[in-house]
Amino acid sequence: MKKTLRFVLILVLILVLFSAWKVFGPSVSVPQDKFLYIKTGETFNGMRDELVSKKIISSSRWFDWISSAMSFKTAKAGKYEIKESMSLFELIRMLRNGTQTPVKLTITKLRLKEDLARKMGQLFEFDSLAAMKFLTNNDSLKTFGLDSNTVMAAVMPDTYSLFWNSDPEKVYEKLFEHWKKYWTDERKKKAEAIQLKPVEVTILASIVDEEVNIKSEKEKISSVYLNRLHKKMNMQSCPTVKFALRDFGLKRIYEKHLQVQSPYNTYINEGLPPGPVCTPQPETIDIVLNAPQTDYLYFVANSDFSGTHIYTSNYADHLKFAKKFAEAQDRQDSIRKGNR
């Protein structure tokens, strides 16, 4: 009798230990990409079958039993990280609670809405077409006080944390909130002082960012453009022509390029273009807001190709330096052709 009882106890203990191992032991396998993606609208059974097909779990039997015990019946969309040595209990708890791994959206310099749509489509559940549909929908953008031209003005270089199953509006809302926080009352007052709205400052900063990388040059170029705007002169900015042509690799702007019919061509249109030509660095926006007061109306790149510019307030002087730079470009082009 004692032997039988002992045998039963040992058997029970083995069953308990086996069950505990199946529930709490490292029985989950990590897939090749380390993540499980549950799409919006996915059923519980569909999610479970996905776990089995990707060999994250060996079978559905224990998964179903533990899920039932934990009252887990509904799949929650999202991106979930499958970790080494994860147990079924940890896996089910994570899925039941919807404990997603955030997606990091890093914005650097983007020029076109298509660039942003492509990046969003690569990171989130929706595709680039859905992103583009949102970014070009004036009715949707009206909520943010923007339109399909100015939509990129609220996209600031930074890293944003969101969930994989966020829709395009939710993603943009995150970007917009960051832009709103950037525009403090102090910055708004500075924008008012230079007779521009925050969106207009961002548009101007985008042009300055495309012109040059050196901080001291950005300050002077900002001053030139502000002076031109206030005097109702055409800005005559090469980056706006490149944007109009959608050719950002142009090394030299010729007369034929200046004739492109586009609201972004500031050689033929007065004032700022309707939207930014890139996503400017926050420090460039501040440079525009704090631009020094000068009488400069013209600038041209230095003929030594140092990245610096020569600034003038007299058009005749400007033409002399522009001719010198054009001659330097001709020599450089000639050398390139000779080396081919």
pLDDT score, position 20: 52
Q: Mark residue 29 as left, alpha or beta (left: phi above 0; alpha: psi -120 to 50; beta: remaining).
A: beta
Output the pLDDT for position 252: 85
**What is the pLDDT, as a whole number, of residue 17?**
47
What is the tens place of the pLDDT at every residue in 1-38? 656 656 555 555 555 445 555 666 688 999 988 999 99
Q: How far apart are CA 8 and CA 331, in angstroms?
A: 96
Task: Determine which of 93-107, 217-231, 265-279, 318-332 has the lowest per-residue pLDDT on average.
Answer: 318-332
What is the tens place of the pLDDT at every residue in 227-270?
999 999 999 999 999 999 999 988 888 899 999 999 999 999 99
Q: What digits encode the pLDDT tens for the residues 306-340?
A: 889 999 999 999 999 888 988 888 888 777 666 65
User: pLDDT value at position 292?
Assistant: 96
How far apart CA 120 and CA 168 sit, in angstroms, is: 8
Are 63 and 51 a contacting pair, CB within 8 Å?
yes
Token reading at 170: 């939710």
pLDDT in tens, 105-156: 999 999 999 999 999 999 999 999 999 999 999 999 999 999 999 999 999 9
Please report the pLDDT score of residue 225 as a whole number. Answer: 98
Structure-token match 């509904």, residue found: 74
Residues 158-209 pLDDT 10s = 999 999 999 999 999 999 999 999 999 999 999 999 999 999 999 999 999 9
Neighbours of 102 (CB within 10 A): 12
285-296: average pLDDT? 97
Which pLDDT score is estimated for 60? 86
